[in-house]
Structure formats: structure tokens, C-alpha cells
């Protein structure tokens, strides 16, 4: 059985580093999500512009 009271000093020593790592990971995930949304927006705009351009030229769209 593990003596949790004996581990408290080690846990207290590691906790700030772990919390900082978790904050960093959360920021990185938010940035990835932001980039993914921006990429989807750009792709959607490109498709919309292509469809509009094709419609103006009288081409059939798939």
C-alpha cells in the first residue's frame, strides 16, 4: 500500500510544473482549433467563389 502522506512533499513539488504543462497544452490546443477553423473558412470561401464564378460563366456544377 502506498503511504499518500509520505508522497505529499513530492506531489507539492511537481504540481506547479504539471499545471504549467497543462496550461501550455491547452493554449496549443486552442491555437490548433483556431487554425483549423480559419482553414475551414478559407476552404469554404474558395469553394463558394469557384461555384459563383462557374455559375456566372454558365458552367454546370457537380
Q: Over its length of 62 residues, how does the chain's per-residue pLDDT go in tens digits? A: 888 888 898 889 999 999 999 999 999 999 999 999 999 999 999 999 999 998 888 865 55
What's the confidence (pLDDT) of residue 7?
86
What's the confidence (pLDDT) of residue 22?
97
Whole-angstrom CA distances from 55 to 14, 30, 46, 47, 49 are: 61, 37, 14, 12, 10
Angle at 41 between CA 29 and CA 22, to 5 degrees: 5
Per the structure, the complete domain to which residue 3 belongs is given by 1-62
What's the confidence (pLDDT) of residue 3?
86
Residue with cell 482549433: 33
Give the integer Cα–Cα distance in Å for 40 and 35. Answer: 9
Number of folded domains in the chain?
Answer: 1
What's the confidence (pLDDT) of residue 2?
81
Q: pTM for the complete prediction?
A: 0.60
Amino acid at each position: 500500500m502506498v503511504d499518500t502522506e509520505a508522497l505529499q512533499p513530492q506531489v507539492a513539488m511537481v504540481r506547479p510544473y504539471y499545471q504549467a504543462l497543462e496550461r501550455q497544452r491547452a493554449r496549443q490546443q486552442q491555437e490548433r482549433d483556431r487554425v483549423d477553423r480559419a482553414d475551414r473558412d478559407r476552404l469554404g470561401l474558395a469553394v463558394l467563389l469557384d461555384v459563383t464564378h462557374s455559375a456566372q460563366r454558365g458552367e454546370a456544377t457537380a
